[in-house]
Amino acid sequence: MMRIWLIALTALFLLAPTDAEARKVALIIGNGDYANTSRLVNPANDIRIIAASARQAGFDDVTIAADLAVNDFQKAMRDFRAKADGAEVAMVYYAGHGIEAQGKNWLIPTDAQLKSDLDLPYEAINLDRLMESVSGAQIRMVVLDSCRNNPFGRSWRSGTRAVVNGLAGVEADDVLVIFAAAPGQTAADGTSGNSPFATSLAKRLPQPDMPVQLLGGLIRDDVLQATGGSQRPFVSASITGTPVYLVPRTTPASAPASGNRSGLEELLWKGAMAENSVRAFSAYLAEFPAGKYAAQAGENITRLEKDPGAVIPPVTMVAMTEPAPVARPAARKFTLSNIRVECVKLTGRLGLGLPDQLFLRFNTGQRFPEGKSEIFSIKKGESWVVPERFEFDQPVSFQLREFDDIGGSDNIGTIDIGDASGTYTRTLDGDASDYKVTYTLTVS
C-alpha cells in the first residue's frame, strides 16, 4: 500500500514519557580538520551551539566528537548505539564533508584519501550505518549539516558514479531525517561563524510547546528566510505517535491554539483522513478532544468500528476539510505529469546487459508502480512513459530506482521538482547507468 508522509506521521506517534527513567541522548559530530582536502571552519563552531542547545532541550547525555578519523568515527557510532538502545529520544547531528556516490550517501572522516570511489566502503561512513546507531530508541533523529560540494570526485576516473553537489534524499522507516539542503543542492556556511542551518536548529531544539514532528518544517522556514530562498532544507519524516515534546509544554492541550498547535492539528487531521483508521482518528482526539474536527473524528470512529473496511466518501472528505469562510491564502497544488524516462546506458546487471527494472520513489513515501510485479523493464534506447500524474501540496523530490540482483534497489538519481511550472529534463547517471528524465510540473 502506498505510504505518504502524513500517514507515517500519524501512524508513529508515541506519548512523551514522564517517568524519571526516560532518557534523551545525543551524539554531536563535527569534522573540519581534513588532512587530504579542504578544511571546514564552521563545524567546530556549530557543534558547540548544537550541544548547548541539546542540553537546554533536556538531553541528559550529550557526546561531542570532533575531527574523527575513520576508526574513531566507527567507534563513536558503536558506543552511541549502546547508549541509544532503549532511550526515549536519540539524535545524531553531523557537520562535515558528505557526498553522494554509488547511489548512496557517505560521511567523510578526516583521514580519508578517497583516490577512487572504490575506496568509499573502506575510508568513508555509509549513512545507513550512522542511522543504525539510533535504531534502539523510540524517537530517532538524524540531522545532516553536510550538504557541500564533493571535494574528491573531480580526481576520480571518468564515468565514476559520484554526484558533485550535495546528498541524496533518503527514506527510512521510524526516523526523522533533516538535511541542511534539498537533494543535489549545497548548504551555505554563513558569515557569522555558524551555518544558517545550525543556527536555526540550535534555536528550535529547546523551543517549548514544539513537537519534534514539526522541527524540520520550522528549520526549513528559518533557513529559507536567512538565505533569501537559496537554501531549502529537506525533511524525510517517518516518525510516530502523540506529539513528542523535547521541552515540557507551557500550555495545556485545551488552551487556545498557537500557530504551532493549529498547524499540528491540521497535520494530524490530514494524516487521519489519509489513513482512515480507528487508531488514527483516536490519536487526533487524544491530542485535540475539543478540536474543530472532533465531531467528525468521532463519527468516523463509529463508522469504522462497525465496518473496518469503510471508506469515507470523497464528498464527505471535502466537506470536512473545507475552510471556514475567512480570507486566507489559497493552498498551492503541485502536479507532476508527462514523466518520460529514456535509457541512454544500462546499469549492466551482472555484466550480461540484462534490462533494468525501474520504479519511482517519492520522498513522501509513495512509489510507482506499487507492486514489484508491475516494475517497468527497460533496455538501452527504450523509453518509459509513466502513465500516471501525481499531485502534492508542497514541492517534493523523487528517485529513479532500479532493482538489484540481491533483492534490494539502487538509486540511479534524485530529482527535486522545484516550485516553478514548466517542462524540465534531467540527466541521471548513478549506479553506472545514464538516463534522461523529462517531466512537466504545473503549480496552481
Cα(257)–Cα(296) distance, integer angstroms = 19
389 half-sphere exposure, CB direction, 13 A CA radius: 10
Q: Taking a C-beta distance cutoff of 8 angstroms, is the pair 239, 9 a contact?
A: yes
Please tell me the predicted confidence (pLDDT) of residue 171.
Answer: 53
pLDDT of 10 > 50? The answer is no
More confident residue, 314 or 195: 195
The SS3 call for residue 434 is strand
pLDDT digits (tens, 9 = 90+) for 356-365: 888 888 876 6
Q: Taking a C-beta distance cutoff of 8 angstroms, is the pair 160, 430 a contact?
A: no
Helices (H), 17-126: 42-56, 70-84, 120-123
H/E segment holding residue 270: helix 259-275
Please tell me the predicted confidence (pLDDT) of residue 275.
Answer: 61
pLDDT digits (tens, 9 = 90+) for 62-121: 999 999 999 999 999 999 999 999 999 999 999 988 887 767 788 999 999 888 878 888
Write the DSSP symbol of residue 353: T
Tell me the mean pLDDT in the region 17-24: 54
Highest mean pLDDT (candidates 8-17, 233-242, 368-377) = 368-377
Which of 209-213, 374-378, 387-391 bottoms out in mean pLDDT, i.e. has the lowest?
A: 374-378
pLDDT digits (tens, 9 = 90+) for 278-303: 766 777 777 778 888 888 888 888 88
Mean pLDDT of the chain: 76
User: Looking up cell 568515527, which residue turns up?
Assistant: 73
High-pLDDT (> 90) share of the chain, %: 23
More confident residue, 283 or 405: 283
pLDDT of 123 > 80? The answer is yes
Please tell me the predicted confidence (pLDDT) of residue 155.
Answer: 54
Please tell me the predicted confidence (pLDDT) of residue 80.
Answer: 95
Cα(383)–Cα(368) distance, integer angstroms = 16
Residue 53 pLDDT grade (very low, low, confident, very high; cuts 50, 70, 90): very high
Q: Taking a C-beta distance cutoff of 8 angstroms, is the pair 427, 436 a contact?
A: yes
Which of 11-15, 125-129, 340-344, 385-389 bottoms out in mean pLDDT, i.e. has the lowest?
A: 11-15
Q: How many CB atoms lie within 10 A of CB 192?
A: 11
More confident residue, 429 or 218: 218
Tell me the mean pLDDT in the region 11-37: 69
Cα(110)–Cα(68) distance, integer angstroms = 6
Cα(60)–Cα(54) distance, integer angstroms = 9
Please tell me the predicted confidence (pLDDT) of residue 142.
Answer: 92
Cα(97)–Cα(30) distance, integer angstroms = 9
Note the pTM of the prediction, 2 decimals.
Answer: 0.56
Of residues 419, 4, 9, the one with CA closest to residue 214: 9
pLDDT digits (tens, 9 = 90+) for 42-52: 899 999 999 99
Please tell me the predicted confidence (pLDDT) of residue 31.
Answer: 92
More confident residue, 148 or 333: 333
Write the DSSP symbol of residue 173: T
CA terminus-to-terminus distance, the chain: 28
Amino acid identity at 71: N
High-pLDDT (> 70) share of the chain, %: 68
Write the DSSP symbol of residue 101: E
Please tell me the predicted confidence (pLDDT) of residue 163.
Answer: 37
pLDDT digits (tens, 9 = 90+) for 204-247: 999 888 888 788 888 988 888 888 888 888 787 666 555 778 88
User: Looking up cell 463508522, which residue turns up?
Assistant: 303
Cα(174)–Cα(371) distance, integer angstroms = 22
Cα(263)–Cα(284) distance, integer angstroms = 13
Please tell me the predicted confidence (pLDDT) of residue 200.
Answer: 92
User: Looking up cell 491540521, which residue turns up?
Assistant: 266
